Structure 1
Amino acid sequence: MDETTADLDTIPEGFEGQRMLVVPRRLIGKALQHPVTGRLLVTDAGWFPHAARHGRDRPRGAPEHLMLLCTNGNGWCRTEEGQFPVTPGGVVLLPADRPHAYGATPENPWTLWWFHFTGTDAADLAHAARAAAGGPVTHLRDPAPVASLVSQVIDALDSGPTTAGLTRATGAAWNALAQVIANGRRAPGPSLSPLERAVEHLRSTAPQRTSVSALASMVGLSTSQLTALFRRHLGVSPLRYQTQLRMGRARELLDGTTLPIAAVARAVGYDDAMYFSRQFTQSHGSSPTAYRNRPSSP
């Protein structure tokens, strides 16, 4: 991609804890011929936590459309329409091949969720999102659901540049853009609490693991604040809660199917069946096989 940083004091990536996935360029042409990913294809996606000195300056724009979501801190963006501040909940929508620049503020750098997208329907979706926003920047009262969807885009790309992975990324990206179109510029009002939003993300993405730092940034909290909320209200840490979700699904599969234990393990996110069995035994006091073979209630 033809990109240059805004100046020598800014950097395009390389932030502690970041996730960034790029689809190999040799695969993009083939993916654009597919009936689903040809309509909307995510080519790059990422999460940059507390991205100090982050910045981009593209005098000729980018080959793809961009969506950026700020969940913490502050930043700015500049387009042909002017320069705009970006605050928590801010979504930046940048069309392909148009000059733009953006960056984090030095005093309070943003946490950014983002993806690039192209395809036959991409321009229409980008235009609809910008039209709903009335410009390049809109604001979500509750950015957590969109951050969750971008996280799912990243997870899908991280599973490998397969047709299945790219298709899952397409679905999550389409949903994220639809959420922006429907919910941009929302007036203040009651919303889910940070804990409720975190739990909703974990339930909707299980058995996929989400790091505590990524989960906290989705809902605008520090990792210590989120962990404290989980322990106070749910009695467990976020990681333990994710394990409980996995084990709950494992019980359903053991009770309701004849899948082999190894297949149950894979279905709930464990590649190692022996490790799954140890985790299940630790949680339930019996092995998966013993749990399945227990006497039925009269």
Structure 2
Amino acid sequence: MYLDNSTMLTQNDAMLIPDGFPGQRMLVLPRPRVREYLQQEGTTRLVVTDCGYFPQADSHGRRRVVPIAQVVVMVCVEGSGWCETEVGRFPVKRGQVVILMPGRPHAYGADALDPWTLWWFHAAGPDIEAFLRVAGTTPENPVRRPRNIYPIVSLMSEILRWMERDSTTTSLMAASGAAWHVLTQLASERSRSADSGDAIEHAVEYVRARIVDHISVPELAAMASLSASHFSALFKREVGYPVLQYQTLLRMARARELLDVTSGTIAAIAAEVGYQDSFYFARQFKKIHGMTPREYRDEHKG
């Protein structure tokens, strides 16, 4: 249970680190800009105020005895941790989502032996608290396991990309739209363990939607609550290819389309399908197609 605002930090609380992890990404919107955005016509309902990605966040955690006005949403894609509300402490495992209501004291932290990897955001707006109550999010029920974690992680990544871009109204609207989509997806789903077949189908959709991104097999497996070896075996059985080879095939299909219908340079096309090194892209293309990208473009087709 929480005590009053004068409560001293425990020794364990004093060891919690709010940020500063190797490889982290984090964006905090200046509070004057938050207030300005929420007062603009057409943007008064919700704004993302903070967001980030913390990989293997050893000793990460916060204890907020004085409540904040934002909802806190955290998606655990690897490792584990915990959260607390005024009701008590709840374990958080990979593939689960934490939703902490605004205006309530709370705490959370990474597991000491298996620290979590998190995508997270905070959002503010006049409708959030009522929406969360209708959605069944309460201090008694802060942790959920969505049926399909992949689109939620994709949306979390989209939020961070828009927030990192700039703080223009256009970017903030896009980030806020993605955040609202996350909340509505979580509200509409009932918790259950994912079926293995569903897990692979969802993973395929996730890979197809993110062909330019680095895909980690252990992270995909963690989001499906499967071991990396079991996930890899299931994926190859269902799809016919290992994860990374399947992503390469998707990239090459997109590259062929760009070579056929655009006049972009080989380097530009390589970058658009996820290869920063155009020479490596050309080698991969030739390995699969038996010809270079330039030779493929020069062929007569149709």
Same fold (TM over 0.5): yes
Aligned twin of 1:144: 149
Aligned equivalents of 2:225 and 2:192: distance in 1?
Answer: 19
Letter in 1 for 2:74: L
SS in structure 1 at match of 2:53: strand
Which residues of structure 2 form unaligned runs of 5+? 1-8
Deviation at 1:283, TM superposition (A): 3.6
Aligned twin of 1:98: 104
Deviation at 1:264, TM superposition (A): 4.2
Aligned equivalents of 1:40 and 1:247: distance in 2?
Answer: 39
Aligned equivalents of 1:201 and 1:125: distance in 2?
Answer: 27
The structure-2 alpha-carbon separation of the partners of 1:292 and 1:163, relative to structure 1 and needing over 3 Å to count, comes to farther
Aligned equivalents of 2:287 and 2:173: distance in 1?
Answer: 36
TM-score, L = length of structure 2 = 0.74
Which residues of structure 1 form unaligned runs of 5+? none
Deviation at 1:74, TM superposition (A): 4.0
8 Å CA contact retained: 1:74, 1:86: yes
Aligned equivalents of 1:167 and 1:280: distance in 2?
Answer: 38
TM-score, L = length of structure 1 = 0.75
8 Å CA contact retained: 2:47, 2:172: yes
Aligned twin of 2:175: 169
8 Å CA contact retained: 2:77, 2:219: no
Aligned twin of 1:122: 128
Sequence identity percentage:
41
1:59 corresponds to which of 53, 62, 65: 65
The structure-2 alpha-carbon separation of the partners of 1:106 and 1:28, relative to structure 1 and needing over 3 Å to count, comes to same
Letter in 2 for 1:101: A
Deviation at 1:52, TM superposition (A): 3.7
- Alignment pair present for 1:183 and 2:189: yes
The structure-2 alpha-carbon separation of the partners of 1:58 and 1:133, relative to structure 1 and needing over 3 Å to count, comes to closer
Q: Deviations over 1:4-34 (max 9, x none)?
A: 9962222223445x53321441654554456
Deviation at 1:140, TM superposition (A): 2.0
Letter in 1 for 2:106: H
Count of residue pairs brought into register by the alignment: 290
2:264 corresponds to which of 260, 263, 272: 260
8 Å CA contact retained: 1:150, 1:172: yes
Q: Deviations over 1:180-202 (max 9, x none)?
A: 10113x35574645443322211
Letter in 1 for 2:65: P
- Alignment pair present for 1:296 and 2:277: no
Q: Deviations over 1:37-82 (max 9, x none)?
A: 6533223223334444332101112342111233454433222334
Aligned equivalents of 2:283 and 2:168: distance in 1?
Answer: 32
Deviates more, 1:277-286 or 1:49-58: 277-286
Aligned twin of 2:4: none
- Alignment pair present for 1:246 and 2:246: no
8 Å CA contact retained: 2:148, 2:194: no
Aligned twin of 1:285: 290
Deviation at 1:168, TM superposition (A): 3.8
8 Å CA contact retained: 2:29, 2:50: no
1:19 corresponds to which of 24, 27, 31: 24
Aligned equivalents of 1:21 and 1:46: distance in 2?
Answer: 4
